[in-house]
Structure 1
Amino acid sequence: MVIGAGPAGLATAIALRRAGFGVEVRERAAEPRSGNGLTLWPNGLRALDAIGAGAAVRAGALPAPGTSMRSKTGRSLYEVSGPVMDTIGGRGAGMHRKDLLDALTGVLGERPVFGARCVGVRTEAGRAVAEFADGTEARADLVVGADGIRSSVRAGIGLAEPLRYAGFTVWRATIEFELPPFPGVLSMGGPNQFGIWRLPAGRVYWFASAPAVEGASESRPPGFFENWHAPIPELLAATESEEITATDIYDSEPLRAWSAARVVLAGDAAHPSMPNMGQGTSQAFEDAAVLADCLDGGAGIEPALMEYERRRRRRARAAWSQARMLARIGGWRNPLACLLREKLMSAAPERAQLRQLERLFTFHPKSGE
């Protein structure tokens, strides 16, 4: 049984079913959550290929003609073209979360059970037991908690670490907006950032981040973004307030373990991380591919869960560390420090940058590396 019908849960269910296991997916929300745009990277797409979902997802995604970082005035700090990205594993792609969920549900071939809020888990007589808010229980050989950063499954098996507020809020929106072929862009100014990704069907996904008091975020990003380089002011002007979602950002220290007896974690439930690497969804897909491969090895469920964690922990921890580092560097406020940041980005050797991206984009489902 998989708890959570987001990308992590659906991909895990697909992977397990492909490996020959019967799977049911239960989700606390009453209906699928449409969400916003997101980015998929070559390692995540390769993981989807391994579980038979890559083609369906690619059909609804738009590869970017490169990726770049800019100053708030639009000055290029760093850029990798699409053809160069192809030499190190492939390009990032933009996709709407609803389209991703629809594609994964289509591959799964079965709609999840919605309105099933898991409130507890335990292992009893060699089987996992999930407890739900309506008083019912369900037994399974294995329960996978893919229920996000505030995972009730993680809390139920006593593995939760306290969530820490990162000190900033992210505003997101997806709107109809025509842009010419455009690389995925992240612009930086002081402790503030603005990202732009083109999606299929003439849509654009944008996000803005800025320091904010926890729980006190406004419905729109701060007004100073309207003075940043084009097309940022135009995107903001074209976006109605009700189209914007504001989210305070949290992470936690890496968990001491990802499983307990017949219960295991995947995605943000296993490795809560900041969004600065844009790797959350792709790392979840890696989890799904490796977990299924370990369980398919015939060693038994509990040894397979230990092997899954062994094979995934290093890469997930590396993505967590890089996201935290980028958040710290991106949050610099001192003008001299910010100027130094821009100079270092501009001066970084391209070969070293490409090697780092290649390590991130390379994923082998059988080894987890």
Structure 2
Amino acid sequence: MPKPFATIVGGGIGGLAAAIALHRSGWRVEVLERAPRFTEIGAGISLWPNALAALDALGLAGAVRDVGAVEAAGGVRDRRGRWLSRTDNAELTRRFGHPLLVLHRAELLRVLTDALPADSLRPGCEVRAVRDEEPGPVVEHGGGESRPDLVIGADGLRSAVRGALWPEAAAPRYAGYPAWRMVTEPLAAPPAEGAATWGRGERFGYTVLPGRRMYCFATASLPAGGALGSPEAEYAELLRRFGDWPDPIPALLAAVPAAAVLRHDLYELPPLSSFARGRVALLGDAAHAMTPNLGQGACQALEDAVTLAHCVDGTDDVAAALRSYDVLRRPRAQAVARRSARLGAVGQLAWPPAVVLRNTAARLTPVGATLRSMTPVLGWTPPGAPVTETKNEIH
């Protein structure tokens, strides 16, 4: 009896993870990626305990930890550099079984692609049409036509799969601020802990990467479409906005290669009514693109991948299995997206009295209360794994 066959559209983190999960369950897979290579642009990524739980289910947590860094602690500071809240990574690990891990996106992609058969990866293959028809779905692409048992749309914010089968879906909406992302050169004495510094309508964060480098990110409340045309111009804008912020921010900016600064407007996807239609499913940003305020975009995509593979494992009724996937994933992922949007709105506050109230509330909130509030997000258990504690609903 032939193995079931899945076509995954999109070779990012979620698409590759889904391919790995299905491949290890006995599926034949192909990953269609529009770009000429399976790679990620130069920025860091934070993998929280729930993401590492998903990677553990894929058998890859150890390999990912080998190329990542665990910082001692992190937290939030005010514009003067005073701590508003702090979190100990050892306590995070104790509560949730995994640490907060930071690594370069390209390293994560390398681990994921290495876990798949080389002939399942099809770069430079743009999808032209997707249909779910009898006797099975059809995917037209640059290499011809595929007729799989299952199609997974993991093709990001502007998903072609979503556009084809969810024509009524609302367009992505601008979050109100862009993000700058950058990686420093190796530092002689990098900070041992990361932080997000909140100003008035502006934020600057940094976190530890392997090799004595730091991953830095910044936001400012600005209209969409305001990119300055070159990384060097964006670097000059960062110096203008954040060059006099509290240490170590000026030193970190000085260690950033000007040509390596990335700027992207941030968008979120209005909630979909379903993540599945027939034998086609969406995951990752194609299903629930969210702001990066919780660091959960890739984490939720990894959860999607593990859950979807669990739902279709051993079934002959793919459509019914995808309905189960939708029930398991959509409420959770959309709740995380809402929570991330709320945190972003708080972080971007600019009216001085509101900023004072925000900072005071953050300073007075006990660390234990902060960690408990994160339990519904970080305490995720892969389907089929033993549940060790009751998880609270995400609000």
Paired residue for 1:122, among 122, 131, 156? 131
Does residue 1:92 correspond to 2:100, yes or no? yes
In 2 relative to 1, CA 135–30 (structure 1 residues): closer, same or farther, beyond 3 Å? closer
Unmatched 5+ stretches in structure 1: none
- Name the CA distance, whole Å, in 1 between partners of 2:111 and 2:117: 10
Displacement, 1:362? 1.1
- Partner residue of 1:207? 217
* CA displacement 1:139-159 (0-9 Å, x = unmatched): 111110111111111111125
- Name the CA distance, whole Å, in 2 between partners of 1:210 and 1:60: 31
Once the two structures are overlaid, the 10-residue window that deviates more, 302-311 or 58-67, is 58-67
- Partner residue of 2:90? 83
* CA displacement 1:68-106 (0-9 Å, x = unmatched): 111122100000112221222132111101100001111
Give 1:153-232 correspondences, 5 Å limit. Answer: 153-158=161-166, 160-178=169-187, 179-180=189-190, 182-218=192-228, 219-220=234-235, 221-222=237-238, 223-232=240-249
Q: Does the CA contact (< 8 Å) of 1:64 and 1:82 recur in 2?
A: yes
Paired residue for 2:109, among 98, 101, 106? 101
TM-score scaled by length of structure 1: 0.95
Displacement, 1:367? 6.2
Q: Does the CA contact (< 8 Å) of 1:56 and 1:104 recur in 2?
A: no
Displacement, 1:33? 3.2
Q: Does the CA contact (< 8 Å) of 1:64 and 1:183 recur in 2?
A: yes
Identical-pair percentage: 38
- Partner residue of 1:8? 14
- Name the CA distance, whole Å, in 1 between partners of 2:325 and 2:79: 42
- Name the CA distance, whole Å, in 2 between partners of 1:323 and 1:367: 27
In 2 relative to 1, CA 138–48 (structure 1 residues): closer, same or farther, beyond 3 Å? same
- Partner residue of 1:52? 59
Give 1:8-87 correspondences, 5 Å limit. Answer: 8-35=14-41, 36-87=43-94
Q: Does the CA contact (< 8 Å) of 2:86 and 2:367 recur in 1?
A: no
The SS at the match of 1:227 is coil
- Name the CA distance, whole Å, in 2 between partners of 1:65 and 1:341: 25
Once the two structures are overlaid, the 10-residue window that deviates more, 210-219 or 299-308, is 210-219
* CA displacement 1:160-217 (0-9 Å, x = unmatched): 3211111111111112232445223111101111111111122211111111221112
- Name the CA distance, whole Å, in 1 between partners of 2:331 and 2:259: 40
Counterpart of 1:227, as a letter, is D
- Name the CA distance, whole Å, in 2 between partners of 1:351 and 1:81: 11
- Name the CA distance, whole Å, in 2 between partners of 1:364 and 1:135: 38
Once the two structures are overlaid, the 10-residue window that deviates more, 286-295 or 358-367, is 358-367
Counterpart of 2:54, as a letter, is A
The SS at the match of 1:108 is coil
Unmatched 5+ stretches in structure 2: 1-6, 229-233, 386-390
Q: Does the CA contact (< 8 Å) of 1:311 and 1:367 recur in 2?
A: no
Displacement, 1:254? 0.9
Displacement, 1:118? 1.2
The SS at the match of 1:326 is helix
- Name the CA distance, whole Å, in 2 between partners of 1:337 and 1:97: 35
Does residue 1:137 correspond to 2:145, yes or no? yes
Q: Does the CA contact (< 8 Å) of 1:173 and 1:244 recur in 2?
A: yes
In 2 relative to 1, CA 31–261 (structure 1 residues): closer, same or farther, beyond 3 Å? same
Paired residue for 1:293, among 298, 310, 331? 310
* CA displacement 1:200-252 (0-9 Å, x = unmatched): 12221111111122111232344120111111111112223210010001112
TM-score scaled by length of structure 2: 0.89
In 2 relative to 1, CA 332–173 (structure 1 residues): closer, same or farther, beyond 3 Å? same
* CA displacement 1:299-329 (0-9 Å, x = unmatched): 6200110101111122212210111101111
- Name the CA distance, whole Å, in 1 between partners of 2:93 and 2:148: 42
Displacement, 1:297? 4.7
- Name the CA distance, whole Å, in 1 between partners of 2:375 and 2:166: 36
Q: Does the CA contact (< 8 Å) of 1:71 and 1:187 recur in 2?
A: yes
Counterpart of 1:364, as a letter, is T
The SS at the match of 2:299 is helix
Paired residue for 1:357, among 367, 371, 374? 374
Q: Does the CA contact (< 8 Å) of 1:177 and 1:235 recur in 2?
A: no
Counterpart of 1:73, as a letter, is R
* CA displacement 1:113-133 (0-9 Å, x = unmatched): 11111132101223111122x
Give 1:271-310 correspondences, 5 Å limit. Answer: 271-298=288-315, 300-310=317-327
- Name the CA distance, whole Å, in 2 between partners of 1:56 and 1:146: 23
The SS at the match of 2:184 is strand
CA RMSD of aligned residues (A): 1.7
